Structure 1
Amino acid sequence: MSSDDGCRLWTDQIGHGPALVLCHGGPGLWDYLDDVAGLLAAAARTIRWDQRGCGRSQRHGPYTVGRFVADLDAVRDRAAGPRMAMLGHSWGAHLALQYAIEHPDRVSRLVYVSGTGIDPERGWHPDYKRNLRLRLGNHLELWEALSNRARTPAEDREWAVLQWSADFADHSTALRYAQRMATPWLGINYDCNRAITTEVNQKLSTNDFVTRCQSLDVPVLIVDGTEDIRPRWAVDSLEQALPNVQRATLAGAGHLPWVEDPDGFRQAVVGFLTADDGATPDRVHRELPDPR
């Protein structure tokens, strides 16, 4: 499909039921949420898409949050209908939240998975960088060597697999899961990553984002794993700001909780998506047990 400025966007959908649009992370990556779509296919018609400049979508700027919000609205209009539920992961969680703030009348529910919160005062990056190095363990030396030089496409994939392996709690399966994320390898758009990351950081530190979250009249479910190397306290600011929020914390899961605890993830998300509007409780916080 095409956005309103003619940029071609790759999309895919499966399942039956109310529309649920998935927003992948990055920025600069491609959709890797096929497993999420499969888990939720019995409860929703899941719509996946590659953000502009990423994966199978056209390499076409500009790379701005506003432009990505407009692209998401085009996906909603052409594939989902007047109103949709959304699920965003990592950077995609922030994108979905930004969209809900700007277009609350077009959003029925929002699932915010493994985001990094809205706290402009206490940055999460130092903790993330320290945890990343610890989680890499024996792979740290190779990851550092690849980080500090110009990389071929094959080396770029190798570097990404090593870094993504730190997003999984179980060391015995982490590399295999990361390899799967990198297959097929569609290449990281670093220009997109830099532009979007810079803009998000600037907006969180200068605008009234917290105030806008406090007035968001959309039910939100926050889902995260206890073993995510991005500190979970960073999301507390968002949980405290939202007026209608639930939070499901999956014990023993990392940054992609649906991979390491698919049953717990499906239980939390399907329960939230299928609950009656009048039965959606405010400020429910529960921790689901480690399936291992």
Structure 2
Amino acid sequence: MEGTTAKINGVSLWHHVQGQGIPIVFLHGGPGAYDYLEPVTALLDENCFQMIRYEQRGSWRSEKTGPYTIETFIEDLEQLRMHLNRQNWIVCGHSWGASLALAYATKYPTKLKALLYIAGTGIDPAWHIDYRKNRLNRMTSTDRAEYLHLRSAIEKMQDEEREHTKNRLRALSLKADLFNHNNFSKLPRMDEPFVNSEVNQEVGAQCETYFSSEQFKQAIPFNSFPALFIHGAADPRPYRYVEELAANFQKGEFALIPNAGHYPWLDNATILGKHIKAFLSRIDKQ
């Protein structure tokens, strides 16, 4: 894999730059996962866009040094922009990366040309309850029975058996994220060394307080940059919370991708690409 590392905000961050034109940075999910968004960049013309992918601190090829806080991750991204000498850019995030993109955009709105928010969760913590229900409903009856059994039995397990069960529960959850289960082998890796559990737990624990705070919610309506919120219709994470978030933006748009789950480029890349390119085309003309 091409790419380079550079000291940014005190840690070495892996990043990859390709193409020319309007800069657009891609933020992977997790927290604590790795860069898996190359298939999304492939939907765009590298003669029109300079596509920047990077791995957040603690992730795979980047330095595993804290602090692992949302504020630190925001500053890492801003320092990356400065390191690359870009006046402003389009910020595109997927899942947790969408939340990070939103947090960055709200703190540094003048550095944004536009926001692309793919398969996020919105800012209302109630999404968790609906997600758990939807996840079970999207499982086959066989997978659902196995999932419920393992969830009830895991507390009594130890060591290797417990670890094996955690991996199986993760696999069943990931399968429910797809509209087409045949795409399971194409999903991002969710095992070591690709996922840093410490980052996932520490940053994940901060999200509810950070994004549901009154201070954060009150800042959103003042954001005047164009923003496209994209969600797969079959994603267990309920899209209504994202649609509500989009409605609070001055220039917010919402697009629901049919026949697609949490990774819409796997299930329906054609429609996903159509929405992204149409949005970016409008931005380019402004």
TM range (shorter): 0.7 to 0.9
Deviations 1:228-266 (A, max 9, x none): 100111113211211111112111111111221111111
Q: Which moved more, 1:191-200 or 1:87-96?
A: 191-200
SS in structure 2 of the partner of residue 275 of structure 1: helix
Q: 1:159 to 1:40 in 2, by over 3 A?
A: farther
SS in structure 2 of the partner of residue 108 of structure 1: strand
Equivalent positions of 1:206-245 (< 5 A) are 206-245=213-252
Structure 1 CA distance for aligned equivalents of residues 190 and 216 of structure 2: 36
Corresponding position of 1:63: 68
Q: 1:92 to 1:169 in 2, by over 3 A?
A: same
Q: TM-score, normalised by structure 2?
A: 0.86
Alignment equivalent of 1:167, drawn from 162, 170, 177? 177
Residues 54, 188 of structure 1: 8 Å contact kept: yes
Residues 114, 283 of structure 2: 8 Å contact kept: no
Deviations 1:37-67 (A, max 9, x none): 1112434221111111112111111110100
- 1:20 equivalent in alignment to 2:29: no
Residues 261, 267 of structure 2: 8 Å contact kept: yes
Q: Which amino acid aligns with 2:68?
A: Y
Q: Which moved more, 1:212-221 or 1:234-243?
A: 234-243
Structure 2 CA distance for aligned equivalents of residues 80 and 128 of structure 1: 40
Q: TM-score, normalised by structure 1?
A: 0.85
Shift of 1:193: 1.6
Corresponding position of 1:282: none
Shift of 1:218: 0.9
Structure 2 CA distance for aligned equivalents of residues 52 and 76 of structure 1: 15
SS in structure 2 of the partner of residue 57 of structure 1: coil
Shift of 1:157: 5.2
What percent identity do the matched residue pairs reach?
30
Shift of 1:30: 1.0
- 1:112 equivalent in alignment to 2:122: no
Q: 1:245 to 1:150 in 2, by over 3 A?
A: farther
Q: Which moved more, 1:202-211 or 1:255-264?
A: 202-211
Greater than 6 Å deviation, 4+ residue runs: none
Deviations 1:57-96 (A, max 9, x none): 1111111010000111122122361111010011111111
CA RMSD of aligned residues (A): 2.3
In structure 1, stretches of 5+ residues that fail to align are 280-292
In structure 2, stretches of 5+ residues that fail to align are 1-5
Shift of 1:119: 2.5
Q: Which amino acid aligns with 1:33?
A: L
Q: Which amino acid aligns with 2:50?
A: R
Aligned residues: 273
Corresponding position of 1:268: 275
Q: Which moved more, 1:132-141 or 1:212-221?
A: 132-141
- 1:46 equivalent in alignment to 2:21: no
Residues 14, 37 of structure 1: 8 Å contact kept: no
Shift of 1:191: 2.0
Q: 1:99 to 1:140 in 2, by over 3 A?
A: same
Structure 2 CA distance for aligned equivalents of residues 119 and 74 of structure 1: 29
Residues 130, 238 of structure 2: 8 Å contact kept: yes
Q: 1:201 to 1:41 in 2, by over 3 A?
A: same
Residues 26, 93 of structure 2: 8 Å contact kept: yes
Q: Which amino acid aligns with 1:133?
A: L
- 1:10 equivalent in alignment to 2:20: no
SS in structure 2 of the partner of residue 8 of structure 1: strand
SS in structure 1 of the partner of residue 207 of structure 2: helix
SS in structure 1 of the partner of residue 7 of structure 2: coil
Corresponding position of 1:128: 131
